[in-house]
Structure 1
């Protein structure tokens, strides 16, 4: 994502101080969406502020937040920037990293979601994100720890300590040709085991995710294929959520400069929905 540097000054008085940076990036989209009954206009714009720096000893630190999240990024115990200052923050992240790994506080995905992830979706709006099987996740300010060594990556996450704890752990082995990941989540009400993998065969990339939720009678699974041809990528997916299954087909064409023409069709088991539009990255 192309970034525009806003400031690269401070900490110049002492040798060894690294310059702090504040950068802004953005994304936007516009197009048409068919919701199963009507066709409507659709558009959205988001601006993200990213801050980074480095200590004398070489530790990296930083934070990131979207402009539309600014209010909840400073939430306190009362949800409005109270005296406890961000203990129920549900937007933005703050991190510190080094040889020990990376520790992030804020609006994190669970460890399983970070390393196992989801198969590819279609459409410029996501069309309901039916390709995603879902994760238990966590609420309030959460902590996410990540560590990588060679082809192995580890992650551990926890929700706010004074709530009904939601914890997750995951491990992933990844090479240029394939990857496999295993994740576990547990909260006060449920638990889930997720297994994911991907493999690249020439121009085609195949992804698969299986999710076994303790409270669900059936195991959910999803499969996708992305096929790249020069500036065009064609994507197809199938997802079985247990009670309902569906599939999607879509394509994107890289227009250059951060813009792309994107469209898709999804049958979610209830309706057939579609969209077509232009996505933009700044």
Structure 2
């Protein structure tokens, strides 16, 4: 992604200080969306600011926020629900703010279709964190580890009542150029979730699978996707089993070059068939 350098300023408090910089990147999309009943126009623009610096001792630090969420990030405090702030070094990386859980970060999701995601039915869901949350990540060779914790004084209203508990998660991942496997564990109140994911790439195809078992679910949830690349075109299909609802999707993406792509997809969400086609741009 191309990035425009907004500012590069020397830290002049002492001689030999490292430089700090602020960059901006963006994305946009436009197209047609069919919701099962009507076809409508859809478009969106997002701008992201990233700040980075380094201490004399070699510690990296920085922050990131979307332009439309700058006000929320500015208020921040103990309920920062947008943007992140981090510091990293040989010890790993520590991030505060609006984080995904450790399990979500390392296990993730199977591939989806469409230029908006068509409801993101490829995602099984994680217990998540409550803001302001903390995420710690460390990698060595092919192994990656992550720990996360939600706000220490979180109080969340759920369908089963009010939870006054801290969300915690731990995850590990082993990845190579051709395959990966990851395992995550989350706990939030009396609810627990174990998620296992893996991927493998061969002959132009990438297969991903995720299995999630949550105490509050009646059934174990599954997701599977296949991406097949042919030159600039990638064809994607996915299937999810979320208890009583099965979801299917198929789509394609064509890379136009220069940060522009054409994407389209069709999804059966268990109730309706929805579809879309459009363009995405990265800046």
TM over 0.5: yes
Alignment of structure 1 residues 1-282 onto 2, 5 Å? 1-12=1-12, 14-75=14-75, 86-163=77-154, 164-282=165-283
User: Is residue 73–residue 91 contact of structure 1 (8 Å, CA) maintained in 2?
Assistant: yes
Unaligned runs of 5+ in 1: 77-85
CA positional deviation for 1:13: 6.6
Say which SS state the counterpart of residue 114 (structure 1) adopts: helix
Deviations 1:81-115 (A, max 9, x none): xxxxx110100000000000000000000000000
> What displacement does 1:25 show?
0.2
Counterpart-to-counterpart distance in 2, 1:16 and 1:99? 21
Q: Distance in 2 between matches of 1:179 and 1:17?
A: 39
If each structure's strand is expressed as a fraction of its own residues, which one has the higher value? 2
Contact 1:251 1:263 in 2 (8 A): yes
Displacement after TM superposition at 1:70 (Å): 1.1
**Cα deviation 1:119-171 (Å, max 9, x = unaligned):** 00000010000000000101120000000000000000000111220000000
- Please give the per-residue CA displacement for 1:5-61, whole angstroms capped at 9, x wherever unaligned: 011122157443111010000000000000000000000000000000000000000
Q: Is the 8 A contact 1:204 1:226 kept in 2?
A: yes
**Cα distance in structure 2, aligned partners of 1:281 and 1:256:** 10
Q: C-alpha separation between the residues in 1 aligned to 2:61 and 2:203? A: 38
| In structure 1, distance between residues paired with 2:105 and 2:2 | 23
What RMSD over aligned residues (CA atoms) do the two structures have, in Å? 1.0
1:55-89 CA-to-partner distances (Å, cap 9, x unmatched) read 0000000000001111211235xxxxxxxxx1101
Q: 1:83 maps to which residue?
A: none
Q: TM-score, normalised by structure 2?
A: 0.95
Runs of 5+ in structure 2 lacking a partner?
155-164
Output the TM-score relative to the length of structure 1.
Answer: 0.95
| Contact 1:75-1:87 at 8 Å conserved across structures | no
Deviates more, 1:54-63 or 1:161-170: 161-170
